[in-house]
Copies of this chain bind each other. A is one copy, B any other.
Amino acid sequence: MAVWPYEISMEAFTESYDLQGESFWLNVFNAHKDKMQIKNPNVAVVNLKKIFSATFKLANTKGFQAMSLRDLSRETEISMGGLYAYIGSKNDLASVIEGVLRTTIDEVIGSLRQQNLEPVERLRAIVYGEIYAMEILKPWYYFCFMELKGLPREQQEQAMDLELRFEQNVIDVVEEGIRSDQFACSSPRMLAALATAQLQQWHLKQWKFKQANVDTQQYARLVFESLLLNLHYQPLQGRAPSMGGHRLAGVEQNRFSE
């Protein structure tokens, strides 16, 4: 398996971004401590983890509206009264989840923008980065996708805005590649939308990829190489070619276990 910059491993990504460690949960705590009565971070984080993961378990199988706080109380082993020391209300809980995820993604996306890479490699970083973030925060992504329409209008708009900003990142890279004659594409905007559809599939259709035995990195590569095809990518002369640069090479490298 090739390594960065020709292939990006999940490990390389995990080292760069903390999306699951203690500092991540301290962020969650700080993000909405004004809505909680608990002041001790050490106590709070333990129960926040319980509450969030139980919410994902219940809401992502039966739906957030169908999940009652009594369900949540049972699953977390925290009493009804106890729960209300950590959440302002049931709707608040959903809002907080969306807010935390959006802030987190926003940071990842923003940092990917600043990387000073060739178009092809920046595109790769965007695609792989988004898939790896999705893999780590899968229940968060799925929850926000499915429950977005139950949230306040303002949050719905912010979420759509974030999605468009992600796509703008893709568009910018594509247009840079067009200027340097590596890419050709008549509608970068629609290509970005089509790619987003494929990326989101990673959390939307987990059953399908599990059944097909496709892992995270394989999926990222699939989407990325399909993107290069749509961009009619031709590597510049006089450089080491990237993987997937040649159409036939892309075909050969892309075999799965079926």
Residues of chain A having any CB pair with chain B under 8 Å: 60-63, 65-66, 146-147, 149-150, 160, 163-164, 184-187, 189-190, 193-194, 197-198, 200-201, 204-205, 207-209, 212, 214, 222-223, 226, 229-230, 232, 247, 251-252, 254-256, 258
**Across the two chains, which residue of chain B brings its CB closest to A200?**
B197
Per assembly, the copies of the chain total 2
Residues of chain B within 8 A of A200, CB atoms compared: 197
Roughly how many angstroms separate A63 CA and B223 CA in the complex, as a whole number? 31
Nearest CB of B to A227, in Å: 10
A201: contacting residue among B63, B185, B193, CB under 8 A: B193
* Contact status B62-A207, CB under 8 Å: no
* Contact status A230-B232, CB under 8 Å: no
Nearest CB of B to A98, in Å: 14
Residues of chain B within 8 A of A63, CB atoms compared: 63, 65, 147, 149-150
**Across the two chains, which residue of chain B brings its CB closest to A256?**
B187
Q: Which 7 A-B pairs have the closest CB atoms?
A: A65-B65, A197-B201, A186-B254, A197-B197, A65-B66, A197-B198, A187-B256
Residues of chain B within 8 A of A198, CB atoms compared: 194, 197-198
* Contact status B66-A194, CB under 8 Å: no
Residues of chain B within 8 A of A207, CB atoms compared: 160
Roughly how many angstroms separate A250 CA and B198 CA in the complex, as a whole number? 21
Residues of chain B within 8 A of A193, CB atoms compared: 201, 205, 208-209, 212
